[in-house]
Structure 1
Amino acid sequence: MHVLITGGAGFIGSHLADFYLSEGQQVTVLDNLSTGNLANIEGILAGINFVTGDIRDSKTVNELVSSSDLVLHMAAYLGVKNIMENTLESIDSNFMGSEVVLKAATKHKKRIILASTSEIYGKNSQQPLHEESDRVVGAPQMIRWTYSDSKALEEASAYVMHNRFGLPVTTARFFNTVGPRQTGQYGMVIPRFVQAALSNEDLLVYGDGTQSRVFCHVSDVVNAVNLVANDDRTIGDYFNVGGVGEISIMELAQRIIEMTGSKSRIKPVDYSEAYAAGFEDMQRRVPDITKIANSVGWKPSKNLDNILADVINFFQSRLQSWL
């Protein structure tokens, strides 16, 4: 089987590339390296076909999709900080780029997994969030929600293409995926906290820290993607993919300090100091993963302590390699 992974040099995409290559599959990665990093796939570069390119390049995308058996569409501008600072580029890439990929998969009748996000649900306070939960987002001037909007349009396009043209698509909505290789560069909280703790720097907690999240290990996400890709009963459907064990951001910071033995302190920071105008947060985001469990038997195997241990080990090994 020939697997095409858009955004395959990114965090989740690179782990998918590792997995499918280890399964003996032919792997092609398409990435423009705007948020992806060659370091993520340097260990497998000799065994894959790597193409530097943009998902908005219809000629390249069509050529790659036509020769593949399975398309894993992971490419996206992501991360709150990145979205706030590169809003127009993120909207264009996330929507227009995805349209190119979806049209190519429709044209060539290729099985495709669409990576979506828990951002779809916006600030809906009715938790836990199931697949039919309403989208609740702020005003258009709240730039933070443009990512949610673009991914919602992407999902809608996939849904229409499936119903109208038979596109064999399954959508996976990822909730706070974490693990080795994830960077804190774009605001992701766990790698940001771990890096600060290992350097004995202040852990910056935005707001009052009572906002809570649920995290999922990237290896569990890879397993979920593989299961839905291999089950034709999931075609045309959409699934939450997330972990278990809700924790507040303040508690998360405290746990990371304890696990690293850090001398760091926790420093509350007002949102206005961390983000430009147009930012808005949500108090809770908890996934209901009943649907995917019932459909393909998936459930996460790693808890929060497993996740934190893996991330800590990853950054510790990087620090040691620099010494």
Structure 2
Amino acid sequence: MIRERNVTEITHFILLGFSDLPKLLTLLFIAFLLIYITTVTWNLCLIILIKMDSHLHTPMYFFLGNLSFIDICYVTSTVPKMLSGFYQEQQTITVMGCAIQYFAFSLMGLSESCVMTAMAYDRYAAICSPLLYSSIMSPTLCVRMVLGCYTAAFSGSLPQFCAILRLYFCGPNIIDNFFCDIPQLLNLSCTDTFLSRVILAIITMIFGVTNAILIVISYVYIVLAILKITSAKGRSKAFNTCASHLTAVTLFYMSGVIVYLSSGTGSSSHLDRFGSVFYSVLIPMLNPLIYSLRNKEIKDALKKLPKKKGCC
């Protein structure tokens, strides 16, 4: 479609990243590089460990392996581009490149939200119906649930991608962040963004609110089931099987909510940026640590590995 306008159409954006902190650039570059390497290494090692140890071939670790894969892709969608621009005079990205980056980022974020919901259901089945757990969480169901998570995430990311492609940008073209996030893109658009904002609101409601409600409902039943356990040791064991997942879910949702609420209220861009660092860079690094620190099965699996293969 040909647009008749008296203004020049923007073909690329400038990502400011952390250029306003010139004295800290070297330190930040090293920090983010180490975080990225650590994130990829930890999550990859967890995937390999789950694959190698037959004792970890259970629904919980099947979902955890997929979560680690998502976290690797999640952090890769933003950090390499950010690192490549640390010492460039201007870090630029095309409008199409920006849309593709956000599509990948959104796809992984929505996938993580869905997989965390599937993991909550898995914990519900394990604690509320322990005798039927194996039949409920069959391998076929687990595979279908994960495929459903990826399909749903794709279905949620594609409309946002198409909505971004329909936007027209005529300036300014500066994004005060280290990656292309949709709130900044909507604010920079010269065309009506009502439809794009409606799509974003619907996706947020379906994936953010609905998944959060399903997780809360699962944990209400889990807590009620734990309270019925008579022995303190039994209650502690049941709680420990959920503590890691609950911690990861809380960090993921709280950080995302804080960032997007602050973006909507027009608060400090610095707060938005560092909030984005937390939920898009730090959380993928923390997840394998959260799930491994107090996990006896993973610790036992690590001890069984030959030292020559001990990458973790």
Considering fraction of residues, name the structure with more strand: 1
Larger radius of gyration: 2
TM-score (norm 1): 0.26
